[in-house]
Chain A
Amino acid sequence: MAQAKKAKAAKPADKVDYEGNPLPDLPDLSWMGNTFQWGTKALPERYGGGLTLAALNIGIYGDIPEHIPHRNRLPRGAVPVISAGNIGGYYIQDKYEQWADSSPYLYEEGISRRWSTATDIPWETGRGLSDDVEVAIAQVATELSNWGSVESEVVSAWLQNLSPGYHEVKYYLSTAVYDSARIEEGYRKRALLNGAGMMLESPGRMNRACLESYGSWSNTVLFMWILRGSLMQAIVRYLSVYGPTEADRELAFRILPDIMRKSAYACDHIRFAISKKPELITTFNAGLTVAEFAQLSDFNDPVLWEALAIIFGDGVENMDEGMKIVLELQQHFLETYISKCSQANLGREAQIKSGAWAGILMGVPMTGHATPDEMRAQVAAIMQKNSGKK
């Protein structure tokens, strides 16, 4: 009786395989032993760090090739089968196009620092602001939420093109998309906390530059995480200090490390790409020149700067004082940007200090309130004053 039941239970499964071929009575075990390396024993960290992704890179599993020939989802180090074929996408097949040595560490770091905007922000402290400051923080929150949304769109769209053979990068980027989503929703919550709501959308030229950087993943990284990322880092860093409420400061403080990981990946990746293909310096610099124009264009829109000036000055009446901090922020952005470019082996200092950005470094904020001629006049006055001092 039991045997009959057993035969019946197996009936639908034991006739043919998924292609309709007859199957043997017992399963084919010829795959056993089909491995490039057996006996692998990756070990957890000794002092509580757990079993990390980097720890797996031993023996052949740590051989990270310069090129992945397969356009499918072959896990690196697994035995490929010819019939797997190509499945579309995954055309970013070279290491220099995506790699960063820090990827596995950033991935684990991203996971170990998991947090929630729902429960880790003291939202109850985000009350009691004057109406103008409340609207201003909602405006800044709208802008940052917008940027987070664009980031997550851009990175998630690239995943289908990045070869799984460099899984460390793909895993890290998965955490990065998640971090970007948290910026989007964290600042949405902030904007809506007291009813001010989502305010004016971003001018969007830098968003557009990020979205249109589909020529190469490296260009995307440059535009989004080195150029725009430096600005986002500066704004969030200043909000972590000058945020008008504890909730604002904590939100910014929590987001800052997430941004820093993206920055670390970006610098590491660009440096690696240049180490493999020095000629990319020219390409990258040309791309950044274009992206900087987009960023400049956004700088000439006053909305974000006015909102920040109201926050930093604690009200419209003190915007002039707030604008002094905005200038500091803009200078901090440029210094950070120059520093990141240097770290990535891209020298941008000369271009920044001699171009349209130079006025900021000399003490003239770029906020959309002055015409280019007026700004040039202000710069000239500062230069004259400085030469007089000498």
Chain B
Amino acid sequence: MATKSKANTAAPNTFEQLLDYGKNNGYKLDWLQQRETFGDELDAPSNGGGLLLQDVDSGPFAEVPEWTNNVTGRPRGALTRPSAARIGKYGIRTKADVWLKNGAQLYEEAVQRQWSSATDIPWNELEELPDEIEQAECQLATFLTEVEFVAGDVPGRWISETSPDYYEPRMFLISQIMDEARHADVFRKRALANGGGLLQQNSSAALAGASIDSARDFTEMSARLHISGEGLVLSIFRMGERMAYNNAEKAIYRLAASDESRHVAFGVMHLQYVSQTDPERTEEIHSYLDEIELGLVAGTGGQNPAVRGTPSNAAIMTLLGGGTDEASLREGEQIAGAVRQRQVKEYIQRIKVAGFGDRFTNGRAAAGLTEYISA
């Protein structure tokens, strides 16, 4: 945001006189000083969008260091105290490890789009469903409740690992924690609001997100969580209109998809930043993508409910086909196949945007991806 300089209302000697006055009266006031930006007023927001995080930093406060030695937890740009303890256990002290160009924008977007699972879902429009459909809804809701814990708890760990000099991505990850709590909550509500109940847990540790948990590097984690895991779930949420049997379910999928798309955007934009600023990591990132694509093609890790062989997948097929008779399941299977195609196409597009699209033309990408697209 543009700033305008205001002439200091007090001449420097007046300010100094005030300091002297204070000191003469027993106060220390060493901290009372005008920094280089003093008097640069931010434009009052007049367009209704408000005072946004991306607009407030200027001068030294806007300088995001490529590497930071801020281990006292001070806000970016704040003046240092020699006596401050090194309290930050910040493994992430390099900008490229966590940065993206629009972290502040995504955070503000998240703040504006908060919603309530209690009042923004028309729960009174739930309708009694055939038992097999209700069971499928509840199995899928059980699955989603479980996996949403992954997407909340794992970013939480990385926030405390990240220097506050990179506060914008931290703020976004905090908004993600909030979003994911609401998702876990809304799917639990769905399971328990219409005469059903929770069904069975996912059947492997990997299904519960262990591969995301185990990532030792932020970019690796983000690729697995934001681009792969959440990208896959986003594709399913976007099929919500097909899976939903009433307006309450449609609202759940629509609102959750809106949140999820921000999370995916974070992952894509971070990966893009890495590709543009840290080319030495290119091969390393490709190796993460190799693993991710194994999951996409064969379902390794089982995080994808659109992959055959899991209860959540059977639930999706039941919902999409409209029942558990053979004809319905086969129809559901066909639509689920289309969901997988869509997942793969969206994944490829995201990786291209992130700057790693060469893998789809140089033979590096998993062969099965093209099989899906051409099927």
Q: Which residues of A contact B (CB under 8 A)?
A: 6, 8-14, 16-21, 23, 26-29, 31-45, 48-53, 56, 58, 61, 72-75, 77-81, 83-89, 107-108, 111-112, 114, 116-121, 123-124, 127, 130-132, 134-136, 139, 142, 145-146, 149-150, 152-160, 164, 167, 170-171, 174-175, 177-178, 180-182, 184-185, 188-189, 192-205, 207-208, 211-212, 302-303, 306-307, 309-310, 315-317, 319-320, 368-369
In the assembled complex, how far is the CB of residue B224 from the closest CB belonging to chain A, in whole angstroms?
14
- Interface bits B50-85 vs A (CB < 8 Å: 1, else 0): 111100111111000000000011111111110111
For B148, the closest partner residue in chain A by CB is: A73
Query: Cα distance A116–B340 when bound, in Å?
Result: 37
In the assembled complex, how far is the CB of residue B242 from the closest CB belonging to chain A, in whole angstroms?
16
Query: A181: which of B78, B116, B175, B317 is its contact (CB, 8 Å)?
Result: B175
Q: How many residues of B contact A (CB 8 A)?
A: 155
Residues of A within 8 A of B337 (CB): 9-10, 12-13
- CB of B195 within 8 A of CB of A119, answer no
Query: Cα distance A37–B76 when bound, in Å?
Result: 51
Name the 3 nearest CB pairs between A and B, nearest first.
A17-B309, A118-B50, A50-B118
Known contacts A118-B51, A152-B170, A369-B26: A17-B310 contact under CB 8 Å:
yes
Known contacts A170-B181, A193-B41: A149-B329 contact under CB 8 Å:
no
Interface stretch of the complex, out of B3-11, B253-261, B268-276, B280-288: B3-11
For B173, the closest partner residue in chain A by CB is: A156
Highest count of chain B CB atoms <10 Å: which of A21, A79, A154, A160: A160
- CB of B205 within 8 A of CB of A41, answer no
Query: Cα distance A26–B328 when bound, in Å?
Result: 11
- CB of A159 within 8 A of CB of B152, answer yes
- CB of A200 within 8 A of CB of B79, answer yes
Known contacts A88-B213, A153-B160: A208-B145 contact under CB 8 Å:
no
User: Can you list 7 contacts pairing A with B, beta carbon distance less than 8 Å?
Assistant: A78-B146, A89-B153, A111-B117, A130-B10, A160-B156, A202-B74, A203-B84
For B203, the closest partner residue in chain A by CB is: A81
- CB of A195 within 8 A of CB of B37, answer yes
Query: A18: which of B81, B152, B192, B310 is its contact (CB, 8 Å)?
Result: B310
Residues of A within 8 A of B29 (CB): 306, 316
For B154, the closest partner residue in chain A by CB is: A160
Interface stretch of the complex, out of B92-100, B182-190, B228-236, B354-362: B182-190
Given contacts A74-B146, A194-B41, 8 further A-B contacts (CB under 8 A): A12-B337, A26-B329, A116-B50, A117-B111, A131-B15, A153-B160, A184-B171, A194-B38
B2 at the interface (CB under 8 A from A): no
Query: Cα distance A52–B198 when bound, in Å?
Result: 17
- CB of A9 within 8 A of CB of B37, answer no
Query: Cα distance A5–B87 when bound, in Å?
Result: 61
Residues of B within 8 A of A306 (CB): 22, 27-29, 31-32
B13 at the interface (CB under 8 A from A): no
In the assembled complex, how far is the CB of residue A114 from the closest CB belonging to chain B, in whole angstroms?
5
For B10, the closest partner residue in chain A by CB is: A131
